[in-house]
Amino acid sequence: AQSVTQPDIHITVSEGASLELRCNYSYGATPYLFWYVQSPGQGLQLLLKYFSGDTLVQGIKGFEAEFKRSQSSFNLRKPSVHWSDAAEYFCAVGGNTDKLIFGTGTRLQVFP
Amino acid sequence: EADIYQTPRYLVIGTGKKITLECSQTMGHDKMYWYQQDPGMELHLIHYSYGVNSTEKGDLSSESTVSRIRTEHFPLTLESARPSHTSQYLCASSQRQGSGTDTQYFGPGTRLTVL
């Protein structure tokens, strides 16, 4: 079955600390992977995406993600978190269809 | 990046009312989507469209209907709203870029509350 798992429902970090949000997927074909961010009361904004090529992908706002096929993972990272990064983060997978499968999201809280 | 708009942003209505949630995009994207999002849950696709006069049901059963008369416009209608329809509704659009899943761009959402 096709699915996305975000194991961490809620993460709290201090401002300036590093961040890693986990994403594992199950997909029967070559995966297309996405990370979106959603601020309260807003829609989803694309942070980055991976289709092929270099497995380390750079995105907006200083985020990056690494595709590891052997681990079926696409974890999101940021070396130094800012208070404005507090939001909900969604990982999604697509591939050989037009449909995206989303995880349940990880809520990031940032303390000063 | 796509410019995609949704109105209203917030709507509180009584049971039995007919409502239409509006979604428009200015990028000329062929594909458009409606998702339903509840707190702590993943987004569920309820409708999508490949282009004008094309509409398909998504993975999550929904009592809503959609239409696609113009490329830029993809409204969602509930004929008789019920409290179970209370949710956030997100519209998205994409343009065919290759053989795989296209990048979807999202609107700000409509938060619907049915009393």
In the prediction, which pLDDT does B2 show?
54
Asked if A4 has any chain B CB less than 8 Å from its own CB, the reply is yes
Q: How confident is the model at residue B113 (pLDDT cuts 50, 70, 90)?
A: very high
Q: Band the pLDDT of A66: cuts 50, 70, 90.
A: very high
Per the listing, tokens 């507090």 go with A86
Average pLDDT over chain A, rounded to an integer: 94
Query: Is residue B39 within 8 angstroms of chain A, CB to CB?
Result: no
Residue A51 forms contact with B (CB below 8 Å): yes
The pLDDT, as a whole number, for residue A97 is 79
Residue B82 phi/psi, 5° resolution? -130, 160
Residue-averaged pLDDT of chain B: 91
The CA-CA-CA angle for residues A53, A37, A9, to 5°, reads 105
User: In the predicted model, is pLDDT for residue B55 greater than 80?
Assistant: yes
Mean pLDDT of B6-34: 95
Asked whether the predicted pLDDT for residue B102 surpasses 90, the reply is no
Q: Name A15's Cβ contacts closer than 8 Å, sequence gap at least 6.
A: A81, A82, A83, A110, A111, A112
User: Nearest CA of chain B to the CA of A33: how many Å?
Assistant: 9
Chain A residue with Cα closest to B99: A96
Q: Which residue in B101, B103, B106, B110 has the most chain A C-beta atoms within 10 A of its own C-beta, making it the best mutation to test that interface?
A: B101
Of B90, B100, B111, the CB nearest to A94: B100
* Whether A83 contacts chain B with CB within 8 A: no
Give the per-residue pLDDT at A99: 86
